């Protein structure tokens, strides 16, 4: 009994009534499932239900003729051995070819890495050369600066004219209307609940200024935008202007005459802005001052409003004439990074922090060396502010110390420090200080906010510590009714007294 399909003795024989043949069950079922239900031998239609199992004794498959004698078996083994050797040879050949391909791929990868490394080095070299190259102050203009030659005579004359007009009456000038007295600061100052949270930026404020006449608040943000807020009441703080143009964080802001604004940035430029004629809520750049090779870390507007001083991480500070912004009129290169630019109320002295020293420069001569070095800090100077009476200067440092200086004593060879205090935790860095309009009060920000009397600063008139926040900027309103602050977590806040 043999299978009609394979011709071999079936292990599980079945009989098909329709064809009369015997099949191996596995073969016939596969055939019927794959050939539309027809027998592969006769071509007749066969249903699986028509297959009848055949009972038979288990059959032992006979050996093939080639394995029925020793000689044939030796030939069979020899054939199998030859096949194994041929397969081994083929595998070895394929392995060798794979090794060759892998070696070629590794060589190409190594060559590509060398080319990439060379290109990266060329890119870095170009970037460093570009960083060292001066930026154009205007489209198509190239700035070149030679050795400092001092300010133009006409500019010096205008500064002297301002000095003569304002220095004699600065101490006797009347206080602004509604000026807040000392006892009101001490007893009634508090955190103002405002609606400012709805307009805060998510990227944080970096610097702040308050308009000396309108109490508008100007802030610079980490995303390169500037924002102007109007403050008419604590519950009516509105964003009234946006400045877009810087590509990196704004590091300094200042109001200028005629509604203009100046900003400095880590993108190495200073921009002067004016109201956009087509959109009163936006400002457009009126000029770009580009000279510094490193980030500009601070700026200050000259009290006359016609000039700017900037300090940069490239170890230089520059003085600019805002009527001719092609290039700075003066540049001083230092051994250390200047910080915390500030200007005296008379417009004659400029102040910069240089490492842990406060340096004062005379704009009439602008010598390579400062006319006065004030030593009293052990850390980098973070902020400076001259009082409007012209006698005092306050400085804040990373050493956690705020020093109040009497400039008259410095000229007489006496110790100029008349007061020292800290803010919040002992030794915590103080990042910002400012005098009020009268020169009587000092606001300081660091690990909290403090307002002190300039000549008696050991005990604060008002203080709010903060262990989990750092204040980066403080600014008084004209009548000292509030102090505006910016910090990492709380953003823009107001502390004050509204009568």
Residuewise pLDDT in 10s, the chain (499 residues): 788 888 888 888 999 988 889 999 888 888 888 756 788 888 888 888 888 998 877 656 566 666 678 888 888 888 889 989 999 999 999 999 999 999 999 999 999 999 999 999 998 888 887 766 654 443 333 333 334 456 778 888 888 888 888 777 776 778 888 899 999 999 989 988 776 654 454 557 889 999 988 889 999 999 899 999 988 877 788 888 889 999 999 999 999 998 899 999 999 999 999 987 777 778 888 889 988 999 999 999 998 888 999 999 999 999 999 888 788 888 888 889 999 999 998 888 999 999 999 999 988 876 667 888 999 899 999 999 999 888 899 999 999 999 999 998 877 777 899 999 999 877 889 999 999 999 999 999 998 999 999 888 878 999 998 877 889 999 999 999 999 999 878 888 899 987 6
Query: What count of other Cβ atoms lies within 10 Å of the Cβ of residue 85?
Result: 10
The residue length of the chain stands at 499
Q: How far is CA 80 from the centre of its chain?
A: 73
Nearest CA to 430 out of 487, 390, 483 is that of: 487
CB 419 within 8 A of CB 456: yes
Q: What is the pLDDT of residue 125?
A: 86
Position 138 scores a pLDDT of 38
User: pLDDT at position 102, please?
Assistant: 94
Provide the β-strand partners of residue 353: 339, 358
CA gap 313, 333 in Å, rounded = 11
Asked if 394 and 404 count as a contact pair (C-beta separation under 8 A), the reply is: yes
Select from 478, 468, 466, 472 the least CA-distant residue to 444.
472
pTM: 0.68
* CA-closest candidate to residue 432, choices 473, 381, 404, 467: 473
Question: Distance between terminal CA atoms of the chain?
Answer: 119
């Amino acid at each position: 009994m043999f299978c009609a399909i394979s011709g071999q003795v079936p292990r599980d024989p079945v009989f098909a009534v329709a064809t009369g043949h015997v099949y191996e069950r596995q073969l016939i079922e596969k055939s019927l499932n794959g050939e539309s239900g027809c027998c592969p031998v006769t071509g007749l239609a066969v249903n699986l239900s028509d297959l009848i199992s055949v009972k038979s004794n288990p059959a032992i498959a006979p050996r093939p003729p080639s394995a029925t004698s020793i000689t044939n078996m030796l030939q069979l083994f020899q054939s199998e051995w030859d096949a194994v050797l041929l397969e081994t040879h083929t595998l070895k050949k394929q392995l060798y070819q794979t090794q060759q391909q892998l070696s070629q791929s590794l060589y190409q990868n190594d060559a590509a890495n060398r080319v990439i490394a060379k290109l990266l080095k060329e890119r870095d070299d170009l970037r460093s050369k570009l960083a060292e190259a001066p930026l154009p102050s205007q489209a198509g203009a190239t700035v070149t600066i030679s050795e400092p030659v001092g300010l133009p005579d006409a500019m010096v004359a205008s500064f002297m004219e301002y000095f003569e007009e304002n220095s004699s009456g600065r101490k006797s000038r009347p206080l602004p209307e509604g000026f807040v007295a000392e006892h009101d600061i001490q007893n009634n100052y508090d955190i103002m609940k405002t609606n400012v949270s709805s307009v805060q930026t998510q990227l944080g404020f970096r610097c702040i200024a308050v308009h000396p006449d309108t109490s508008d608040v100007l802030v610079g943000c980490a995303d390169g935008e500037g924002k102007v807020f109007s403050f008419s009441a604590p519950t009516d703080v509105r964003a009234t202007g946006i400045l877009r143009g810087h590509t990196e964080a704004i590091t300094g802001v200042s109001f200028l005459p005629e509604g203009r604004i100046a900003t400095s940035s880590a993108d190495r430029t200073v921009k002067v802005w004016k109201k956009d004629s087509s959109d009163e809520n936006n400002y457009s750049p009126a000029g770009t001052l580009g000279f510094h090779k490193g980030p500009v870390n601070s700026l200050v507007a000259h009290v006359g409003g016609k000039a700017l001083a900037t300090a940069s991480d490239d170890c230089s500070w520059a003085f600019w004439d805002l009527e001719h912004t092609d290039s700075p009129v003066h540049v001083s290169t230092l051994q250390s990074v200047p910080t915390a630019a500030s200007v005296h109320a008379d417009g004659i002295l400029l102040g910069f922090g240089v490492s842990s020293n406060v340096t004062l420069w005379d704009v009439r001569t602008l010598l390579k060396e400062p006319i006065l070095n004030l030593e009293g800090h052990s850390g980098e100077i973070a902020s400076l502010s001259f009082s409007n009476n012209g006698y005092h200067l306050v400085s804040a440092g990373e050493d956690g110390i705020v020093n109040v200086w009497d400039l008259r004593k410095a000229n007489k060879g006496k110790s100029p420090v008349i007061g020292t205090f800290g803010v919040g935790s002992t030794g915590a860095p103080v990042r910002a200080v400012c005098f009020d309009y009268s020169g009587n009060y000092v606001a300081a920000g660091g690990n909290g906010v403090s307002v002190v009397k300039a000549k008696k600063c050991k005990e604060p008139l008002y203080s709010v510590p903060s262990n989990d926040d750092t204040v980066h900027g403080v600014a008084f309103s004209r009548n000292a009714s509030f102090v505006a602050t910016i910090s990492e977590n709380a953003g823009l806040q107001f502390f004050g007294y509204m009568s």
